[in-house]
Amino acid sequence: MNSEEKKALISFLAIYILSAMVLVSIIGFFYYNKEIVAIENQCSIEMSSEAMWIEKELMHAQMEKQEYKFNTNSQTLSVGLFDKDGNILYSNLDTKKIYLAQKAYKNNVHEYHVDKLESPLLGVSYIVIEGSEGAKQRFKLILIIGLVVLCSLVFIGFIGYFLSRLLIAPIKARMEKLNCFIKDSAHDINTPVSALMMSVSTLKNKKEIDKRVVNHISISAKLISQIYNSLSFIAFNDKDEIIDEEFDLCELVKESVRFFDEIAGSKGNIIVCYLEKTLVNMDRSRIQKVINNLISNALKYSYAKTEVKITLKNRIFSIEDKGIGIAKDDQKAIFDRYERKSKDIGGFGIGLDIVKTVCYAYEIKIKIESTLKIGTTFYLSFPTRV
């Protein structure tokens, strides 16, 4: 993973985890508030019940004219009994400073419930209940929520990491293909350019025009032109204006064959044609790119000194070569951009992508028949309405 990929991965994870942290924290905050209300209500009910029980015990002792024995009904609550002036009569409270004027209050450690009696019982005017369970449950709740949030963030972090790697993988693969494409482009463009420069240099040093040198120049120029046409289609396909017109596909194929005749001759290949008049209505330049790329591919992957046969009959265009062939498993993948199944033979891996794009736009059906080390035939079936 290079520095740019690491930077992108870290940025994605930071944004992903931060946004997840905010969301989980908000959920935790609302859950905490909801649970705190429930805890406070439960504590209030328990302390009220304890105060009522103490009041009942005082009332019973007063009615029976018995001595009141200070006792509590709960093991978790403490009780303080005060007279009307706030003096302690009975108490096992942890805190000495009590606010009798407040019916209920709390601090960091305890919560308090103050019950003021309508009439004193055995001199008791205030019953104060002290509890610490609410504070303990609040702390426990905060701890649980904190652990859940932390575990959630760790889990989300792992998920985010694997998701980001999953998202980066196809981009990385695409970039690797693009890098290979750039290297192959430089190599493939360099070959005809070098040949062109050498031919021009040779031509300058000769007094008479050498037909072979001129032929080399013509072939190199055509190769560069074919490369440019393919690259320009990939770059400007979505911006180019499409002009559909009626024309004879037979004549267009003848133009393409004449264009590639010299290139075929450089390998000793021969292009033979069996064509019939076929009228179509489509963008002429685009369909010519399709025919040119198919002829270029056929010549590129043919064995030297073999025949390339082109047929146009009953609105079916076919081109057959005798060459290296295409494996059955690769016949679908070869239409993907930058895909090349033979690394020994030059090419960008964009020719058949152009063929697929144009044929899809015009609903032209593509069929392949191929046998390894024997040859390949491409079929284009043009719909009658085109």
Residue 293 has pLDDT above 80, yes or no: yes
Amino acid at 27: I
Question: Average pLDDT, stretch 225-237?
Answer: 67
Q: Is 351 part of any domain?
A: yes
Alpha-carbon distance 236 to 83, whole Å?
Answer: 95
Question: Average pLDDT, stretch 140-168?
Answer: 84
Altogether, the residues listed in the chain come to a count of 386
pTM of the shown model: 0.52
The 3-state secondary structure of 342-371 reads CCCCCCCCCHHHHHHHHHHHCCCEEEEEEE
What number of other Cβ atoms are within 10 A of residue 230's Cβ? 20
Quote the pLDDT of residue 295.
93
Q: Is 203 part of any domain?
A: no
Residue in the structure block whose two tokens are 């003096």? 87
Helix axes of 351-361 and 211-236: crossing angle, nearest 10 degrees: 50
Residue 294 sits in a domain of what CATH number? 3.30.565.10
Higher pLDDT, 315 or 149: 315
Look at the alpha carbons of 49, 50, 51, 56 in this order and tell me if their dihedral is positive or negative: positive
In the chain, the number of structural domains is 2
- Whole-Å CA distances, 125 to 87, 89, 150, 161: 10, 10, 49, 65
Domain boundary among 138, 156, 173: 138
Residue 36 has pLDDT above 80, yes or no: yes
Residue 276's pLDDT band, with cuts at 50, 70 and 90, is very high
Domain boundary among 138, 171, 188: 138
Look at the alpha carbons of 287, 289, 292, 298 in this order and tell me if their dihedral is positive or negative: negative
Domain interval for residue 368: 240-381
Residue 101 · residue 161 · CB < 8 Å:
no
- Nearest to residue 58, comparing CAs of 71, 48, 47, 68? 68
Alpha-carbon distance 277 to 313, whole Å?
Answer: 8
Q: Is 47 part of any domain?
A: yes
Domain boundary among 138, 165, 190: 138
Average pLDDT value over all residues in the chain: 83
Beta-bridged to residue 170, according to DSSP, are none
Amino acid at 114: V
Quote the pLDDT of residue 178.
66
Q: Is 308 part of any domain?
A: yes
Q: For residue range 10-30, what is the model confidence (pLDDT) as tens digits?
A: 787 788 888 888 888 888 888
